[in-house]
A and B are shown apart, each in its own frame.
Chain A
């Protein structure tokens, strides 16, 4: 199953998104949160994201969902730190964090491929709320 990494400036947002997406996913789905800085302040930590990607990877790939601005930069740097074999199957989704994570979690649960899970996350951009 493709794993997910939830990156947010806030540890609590990352945990909350993990909880919500996890409720909709199968138990076998690995969702690893990487929120906040090691000292508990707001921010995104490249090393923490890197560790989360390694933890979420079970061989089928990892989709990284990010919140704002520098989260994207930190996630890109984390991907560069990966072993080439892992890096080939890790991808950042260009998607809103909450909706994208939920959509990705369900798609990964039904056995979607890396490309399908990324596509499901990115489909969240087109969903209107009203």
Chain B
């Protein structure tokens, strides 16, 4: 298993569209992916669970990936977040 700490810096946090982007990227990989917020965790392949985290700008999150393509999966997700979901 691999993990990374990220800080959400996009304006809107994990709103509908950014949550959907995370789920769509995670779905391209076989690995099991989880996102850990301050008090809740979510299976990233479920957009509703990601949205239910209620994460806003500035939040620190941990992403974990476990599976045959875990390194590439984690890199793709941290890249998306680091680039503010390409929204700004």
Contacts and interface: CB of A to CB of B under 8 A. Distances in A.
Interface of B: 16-17, 19-20, 23-24, 27-28, 46-49, 51-52
A102 B17 contact: no
A124 interface: yes
For A23, A106, A124, which residue has the most chain B Cβ atoms within 10 angstroms?
A106
A127 B17 contact: no
Is the contact region of chain B dominated by helix, strand, or loop, or is it mixed? helix
Contact-size category for A: 10 to 19
Is the contact region of chain A dominated by helix, strand, or loop, or is it mixed? helix
Interface string A33-68: 000000000000000000000000000000000000
Contact of B17 (A23, A26, A99, A128): A23
Contacts of B16: 20, 23-24, 102
A91 interface: no
7 contacts: A20-B16, A26-B24, A102-B51, A103-B46, A110-B24, A123-B48, A127-B52
